[in-house]
Structure 1
Amino acid sequence: MGYAQLVIGPAGSGKSTYCSSLYQHCETTRRTIHVVNLDPAAENFDYPVAMDIRELISLDDVMEELGLGPNGGLMYCMEHLEENLDDWLEEELENYLDDDYLVFDCPGQIELFTHVPVLRNFVEHLKRKNFNVCAVYLLDSQFMTDVTKYISGCMASLSAMIQLELPHVNILSKMDLVANKKDVEEYLNPEARVLLSALNQHMAPQFAKLNKALAELVDDYSMVSFIPLDLRKESSIQYVLSYIDNCIQYGEDADVKIKDFDPEDD
């Protein structure tokens, strides 16, 4: 049984920084993880790359040879990966043991994990290779400055959850850049009545019914909640990692335990 994190989220949400910090944390705690680059447009890494999609296809080559733009070129690269998944994974994964832990650093184009099947098919291939997979969705905490941006983030996250059908962990990244932590605390586990009141204050009256439906969707089904991540604090990284480990049943024999995490703790 293998284990994997699929690190997704909008461009600029801190996915590569998260992967780098996670690798450094695991290196410090003498735990082994392997970070895989799935972004054909990536250039520099702050972590050792265990597997690299650019060895199969790169965005620069596609743009030059086919005359495509960045977005069209990326879609071509990911479709090419999809067509060659079996051979690529068979070749790359043969170097890893059954209990290895892989972290996939994905591109930031939102359509890849909201309404096209590329990453979903990639996940299905991993499952057939006997991997337990968790989607880790990063959202920049600096965008959580008002309720409308929060709802937009929730909808994107929900779309990814529906598309991928995986255990799903939502993370508010870049908490170290938030001046006042209380500004985002109310969005970690929101209540429908609070969301509805805030939405009605920010939006025109004709959106009242839509606001009510969105607030109830977030609250009633408990589908969206966020974990704050402050990369300056080892306790924050460890908490997030333990939470994800629990989702994919990593270290079950070790009886993984999760305690409440206070973002104000060191």
Structure 2
Amino acid sequence: MKYAQFVMGPAGCGKSTYCAIIQEHFKVALRRTCRVVNLDPAAENFAYDCYADVRDLISVDDVMEELDYGPNGGLVYAMEYLSENMSWLEEQICDALDDDYYVFDCPGQIELYSHLSVMREVVDMLQNEDFRVAGVYCIDVNFIEDSAKFLSGALSALTAMVNLELPHINVLTKCDLLPEGADVERYVEGDSEAILSELRTSMHPRYRKLNVALGQVLEEYSLVSFVALNRDDEAWADELTSSVAWDGLLGLKRRQGAARTSSEQNENSE
């Protein structure tokens, strides 16, 4: 069995940094090769060693120059081009062997996960190639400045996970930028009551029922709990791989109940 992480999240949230940390941890601590594949045709530079780069097939800059598209239109066009030329990606992973480990650094535009099919097609292709694929959704600490922002980010994560139908974990990035004493624990530990309480006091009463309903959805899909990424904390990658990642999907140790597929979550809620 081959393994893959599908790393997602809004643009600028630290996905590439996450990929670099995981790759380095595999190299130094696990003595195992981790191949990182860039799937963002708008990427500019990386902190990791890139095994394959979609920009070798098509880049947003080329699309914008040749077709006079804007950045978002150029990205959508480039990803649809990848969808039509999936054989390119298949060639990049054709030599993968059992127990090989890949991390896919994905673009951040939410429309790629909400109503376009290309990212689901990539996942389906990997699964057809005997990959166990898990989703990692990154949200940076700016989303926890208030509960409304956090709710927005968590719902974006839910959109991606439901549409891709992947087991997943959520990573709160850039925690090294938090001031001392910042109350990050309630988000990391999934204190939905505290989050909903703040929403009730900060938003108009007419939205109270909506906030409660959204909070219940996030609780059901385990989207109010995150793993905090602090690039200055050397123990972070150990914590992820030893207590958060799940056996059979990430090829590492598993914490009981750490990940469930969307279908499993739906079954348990019925």
Amino acid at match of 2:67: L
For 2:233 and 2:206, how far apart are their aligned partners in 1? 44
Asked whether the equivalents of residues 187 and 224 of structure 2 are also in contact (C-alpha less than 8 Å), the reply is no
1:113 aligns with 2:113: yes
Given that residues 158 and 224 in structure 1 are in contact (C-alpha distance below 8 angstroms), is that contact kept between their aligned partners in structure 2? no
Q: Which runs of 5+ in 2 are unaligned?
A: 257-270
Counterparts in 2 of 1:190 and 1:19: CA distance versus 1, 3 Å: closer
> Scaled by the length of structure 2, what TM-score is found?
0.87
2:19 is equivalent to residue 4 of structure 1: no
Q: What is residue 153 of structure 1 aligned with on the other side?
A: 153
- Which stretches of structure 1, 4 residues or longer, exceed 4 Å deviation after superposition? none
Match in the other structure for 2:137: 137
- Partners of 2:101 and 2:95 lie apart in 1 by 12
Out of 232-241 and 68-77, give the one that drifted further: 232-241
SS at match of 2:136: strand
**Which whole-Å CA distance do the structure 2 matches of 1:192 and 1:250 have between them?**
30
Deviation for aligned residue 1:223? 4.4
Gaps of 5+ in 1: 260-266
Q: How does 1:118-197 map to 2 (within 5 A)?
A: 118-180=118-180, 182-197=182-197
Larger CA deviation: 155-164 vs 128-137: 155-164
Give the Å deviation of 1:34: 0.3
Kept in 1, the 8 Å contact 2:246–2:254? The answer is: no
**Amino acid of the residue matched to residue 82 of structure 2?**
L
Listed as ranges, the matches of 1:51-130 within 5 Å are 51-85=52-86, 87-130=87-130
Distance 1:99 1:197 in 2: 45
* Alignment correspondent of 2:206: 206
The answer to whether the 8 Å contact 2:154/2:223 transfers is: no
Partner of 1:186: helix, strand, or coil?
A: helix
Tell me how large the CA RMSD over aligned residues is: 1.9
Whether 1:237 aligns to 2:244 is no
Q: Tell me, in whole angstroms, the C-alpha distance in 2 between the residues paired with 1:148 and 1:90.
A: 40
1:12-36 deviations in Å (ceiling 9; x for gaps): 1001111112212222122210000
Moved more, 141-150 or 159-168: 141-150
Q: Can you list the C-alpha shifts for 1:105-142, whole angstroms capped at 9, x where unaligned?
A: 11121211233211111100000000000110000023
Letter paired with 2:46: F
